């Protein structure tokens, strides 16, 4: 029995919070396995390893091209993803086509891995309605209201559970999103009803320019999941193998009817928050960024695969050329879509527009707008 004096030792409780969430690691910065037993238990095939690497390379190239297109004024809102390849692409490999993705605005790569066409992603960036048409791909459009996707994911996950579906809803937000009420409300609902959900908090160090240590006094953001009564873990978000294994285990747990899991991935946003005028050197140092580059998930995975004879510079160059060609086609396809008119925006607002909106539609159509 715990004695009263021990329960009332607040200092001891604070110190304990720091040690309750050890970081899951499988591949170190040098591309060497640091947890052979976990790797063997995961049963990852060579094909899986190559597929994970390909996803991360695709994300890398898409990020490079998207930032260039944004600088040219050919895209609208773009949130760079450099540094988060493992946290996004490797985790998403753990999910199936029937699982439902609720992305945040930085989670375009996961949507594309799921089958969302790149040209539609470009149209979403431009604010075009077609960028919000998902077709048969089980994803919703990227959420701009940070954290709101956690509530929506909880609802979808609960629906899956009630229908006996062997699938899950999975969603991502950042460390900034974890400070929003919606994030906790979503986890709490999913926890209370043991819904089929997997939640990710991508702790990339900054909520726009606000550093992580000002977001929360909690040593680990994963601890917020405990408040909702759900299993919560911390993962090295620059380690593709740890990210994939953690996501796979979480999915297996959730789809078996045990309820949701929260995964905090420790990663870094190596580039600006968005291409809309952010300058990261106004709130962090060049030296800090360089330190994070030493943990680059692409380099780790490349070294590991090359040692196994599964990857080479020739293979990578050929694959990058294929992706660039795919992106070239997507740019042309997006450019050929007719531009939206003002009247289209009003038409798309409500299924049954009121008489004032009808008048506005008629007016703008009469002006050819």
Indicate which residues carry an active-site annotation: 269, 273, 283
Distance of CA 360 to the CA centre of its chain: 39
Token pair of 334 as six digits: 């997006």
The DSSP letter of residue 310 is S
Pairing of strands 169-174, 100-102: parallel
Contact (Cβ atoms closer than 8 angstroms) between residue 90 and residue 240: yes
CA 361 to chain centre: 37
Exposure string (b/e) for 312-343, b if CB count within 10 Å is 16 or more? Answer: eeebbeebeeebeebbeebbeebeebeebeeb
DSSP 3-state of 175? coil
For the record, the structure tokens of 255 come out as: 């789809």
Q: What's the Rg (C-alpha) of the chain?
A: 22
Q: Which residues pair with 234 in a beta bridge?
A: 23, 264
Distances 276 to 77, 142, 202 between C-alpha atoms, Å = 7, 17, 21
Give the integer Cα–Cα distance in Å for 113 and 314: 23
Q: Are 270 and 237 in contact (CB under 8 A)?
A: no
Token digits for 76?
């609208």
Structure tokens at 17: 């919070």
List the Cα angle 360/366/369 in 5-degree steps.
75
Gap between the Cα atoms of 163 and 123, Å rounded: 34
User: Residue 238: how many CB atoms within 10 A of its CB?
Assistant: 29
Element containing residue 236 per DSSP (H, E): strand 232-236
For the record, the structure tokens of 240 come out as 């593709």
């Amino acid at each position: 029995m715990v004695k009263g004096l021990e329960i009332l030792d607040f200092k001891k409780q604070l110190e304990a919070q720091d040690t309750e969430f050890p970081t899951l690691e499988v591949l170190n910065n040098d591309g060497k396995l640091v947890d052979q037993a976990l790797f063997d238990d995961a049963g990852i095939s060579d094909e899986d390893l190559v597929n994970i690497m390909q996803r991360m390379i695709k994300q890398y190239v898409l990020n490079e091209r998207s930032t260039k297109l944004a600088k040219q004024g050919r895209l609208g809102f773009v949130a760079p993803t450099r540094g988060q390849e493992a946290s996004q692409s490797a985790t998403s490999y753990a999910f199936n086509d029937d699982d439902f993705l609720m992305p945040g605005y930085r989670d375009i790569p996961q949507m594309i891995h799921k089958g969302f066409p790149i040209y539609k992603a470009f149209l979403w960036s431009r604010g075009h309605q077609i960028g919000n048409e998902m077709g048969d791909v089980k994803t919703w459009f990227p959420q701009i209201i940070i954290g709101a996707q956690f509530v929506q994911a909880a609802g979808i996950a609960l629906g899956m559970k009630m229908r006996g579906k062997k699938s899950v809803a999975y969603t991502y937000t950042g460390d900034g999103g974890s400070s929003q009420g919606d994030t906790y409300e979503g986890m709490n609902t999913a926890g209370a009803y043991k819904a089929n959900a997997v939640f990710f908090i991508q702790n990339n160090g900054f909520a726009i320019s606000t550093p992580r240590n000002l977001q929360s006094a909690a040593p680990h953001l994963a601890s917020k999941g405990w408040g909702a009564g759900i299993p919560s873990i911390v993962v090295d978000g620059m380690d593709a193998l740890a990210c994939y294994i953690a996501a796979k285990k979480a999915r297996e747990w959730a789809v078996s009817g045990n309820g949701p899991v929260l995964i905090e991935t420790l990663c870094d946003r190596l580039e600006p928050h968005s291409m809309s005028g952010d300058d990261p050197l106004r709130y962090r140092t060049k030296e800090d960024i360089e330190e994070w580059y030493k943990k680059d998930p692409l380099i780790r995975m490349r070294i590991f695969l090359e040692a196994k004879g599964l990857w080479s510079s020739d293979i990578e160059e050929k694959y990058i050329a294929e992706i660039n060609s795919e992106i070239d086609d997507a740019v042309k396809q997006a450019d050929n879509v007719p531009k939206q008119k003002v009247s289209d925006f009003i038409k798309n607002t409500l299924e049954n527009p009121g008489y004032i909106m009808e008048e506005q539609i008629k007016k703008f159509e009469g002006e050819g707008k």
